[in-house]
Amino acid sequence: MLNAQDMVVEQLPGLRRYAASLSRNSVRAEDLAQDTVERALTRLHQWQAGSDLRAWLFSIMHSQYVNFARRAVREQSRMAQDAIPVVAVSGNQEPSIELADLRWALDQLPENVKEIVCLVGLEGLTYEQVARTLGVPLGTVQSRLSRGRRRLHALLEGDYLRAAPARAPIPRCARSQP
């Protein structure tokens, strides 16, 4: 029988995948995963045994990511973008191209939709777990996931018109002005 600390460490591969999908930078992703595990281990007393440990960890990671993003916006003028070296791959590159296309398409999604698509599609969380993790209603998870899947499919099929985000209607007061 694993103790709670071992159960947290056991979730590290999934945390790394989700961190990579959020941050899009391998160094930041690893930092985010490690920060999440560190925070979880120091706050293990707050986790209720028997509850969903994985969802609790993803909630911590989500909070860590949001905090990081807010700090980055405040410090944007001082931060330089990290350059990720591109490594050439010989032989069959089709899977790499498909993965690059998927990454590109995911980057086109709004952040709140991308999180849900990654948690459900990549990590296999249930809609209820995602709703608890992100603190949103179940219906919001379902509608964002549906919109995200439709948009991803359209982008990957090259149907950019169908993939374009819906435009907000023009307010009446703006329409009546000359």
pLDDT, one tens digit per residue, over 112-167 is 899 899 888 888 889 999 999 899 999 999 999 999 989 888 888 876 666 666 55
Domain assignment of residue 18, yes or no:
yes
Supply the pLDDT for residue 146: 92
Domain assignment of residue 176, yes or no:
no
> What is the span of the domain harbouring residue 31?
1-79
Side-chain-side CA neighbours of 118 within 13 Å: the count stands at 27
Domain assignment of residue 160, yes or no:
yes
- Indicate the number of domains in the chain: 2
Domain assignment of residue 84, yes or no:
no
Domain boundary among the residues 25, 49, 79 is at 79
pTM of the model: 0.53
Residue with tokens 């609790």: 56
Supply the pLDDT for residue 145: 92
Same domain, 4 and 75: yes
Query: Coil, strand or helix: which one is 32?
Result: helix
Domain assignment of residue 171, yes or no:
no
Supply the pLDDT for residue 127: 92
Find the angle CA(146)-CA(150)-CA(155) to the nearest 5 degrees.
145
Domain boundary among the residues 79, 114, 136 is at 79
Same domain, 153 and 119: yes
Supply the pLDDT for residue 90: 52
Residue with tokens 């069959």: 92
pLDDT, one tens digit per residue, over 53-99 is 888 898 888 888 887 777 766 665 454 444 445 555 555 555 666 77
Supply the pLDDT for residue 169: 47
**120/129 Cα distance (integer angstroms):** 9
CB-based burial, 156-178: b 16+ in 10 Å, e otherwise:
eeeeeeebeeeeeeeeeeeeeee
CATH code for position 61: 1.10.1740.10
